[in-house]
Structure 1
Amino acid sequence: MTAKSVPNVTFHTRVRNDQLEGPNPYEWKDVTSEEIFAGRKVVVFGLPGAFTPACSESHLPGYEETHQAFRDLGIDEVICVSVNDAFVMFQWGKALGIENVRLLPDGNGEFSEGIGMLVKRTAQGMGNRSWRYAMYVEDGQIEKVFSEPGFMDNPPGVPVQISDAKTMLDYLKQR
């Protein structure tokens, strides 16, 4: 596979600001692809949605549990991308106790579309969503992608088979 650059998009995130008073000390912070990927080794995995069964029961928890193993292999960051907004991603991470994996909202699906992983989930009332995948990105270049088989619009489900943390770890160990 010839390396392809990650798309140049802006992620609309929320970050804590202790200077703000009140019950919601968070503010908007736009982060670009370049800021996230330039000069870094990043594992990114995309999934259909926060709070959905396979995403919550195995996909995200698998990467959280193996986070240190990725760090030990020189990975700067492990990122979960989903076509959800920043508020949903924050609450999902809080509900699952996620402390190490960065939950990156792709609310408009621009990143997912830019890497060719945006699919329609309209039959389930979910709009456009990310296909389930994992990829290794080095200095903004997509070096390896593990895309779940059967890529299509309105799938009945997308199980975690090859985009899991173990598959990515095995790949990185052989690099």
Structure 2
Amino acid sequence: MPFIVKSRHQPPESLRKRFANALIIDVTSRGSEPWVRFSPMYPHGGIPVPFSPGYFSTTVEGIWQGLKVFESIGVDAAKMLITDMKGIKRSTRKYGKVLGHRAGLTGEQLLPYDKARRQIYLPSYRWVLENCLLDLLNELEQLGTGKTVVLLDYETNCDLDNLSRPLSHAGLIKLYLEGNWPT
């Protein structure tokens, strides 16, 4: 089953021309139902917050942004309660340099970016795949039988160790479907 990750920023006509016989699916927060549910900003609810027994987030992005610690501000648990996919991101422009991600809402340890990806983002996104999106994963698998499926994302970095760019959740979907989930 050939899955390809491409940028949502590419003109649709260019993608259709390049991948004429492929199915093109936008898995971003701007995608259509049901594929928008793959977005880390989609409010599935009940997502366990890593290192925080008994705490849950509405979105994966809420966990990622909520546990981010900046020079001028720490954890923001309110990001985990957002249900409309708006106002989740927190930027360096507003809060200064990112110092790391807190290992839990009340944790002492500050995780560097690479460890936070592996210990916060990956387990949170995988939880959503396995607990909220199995039916859609199965549908993608079926759609990919004998046909190329292009997954559109804002980011195309599928390399967990490439810290120069944000990680593509479409890339994680691809890796999951191919049985190559990163460790």
TM-score when normalising by structure 2: 0.27
Tell me which protein shows more helix as a share of its residues.
2
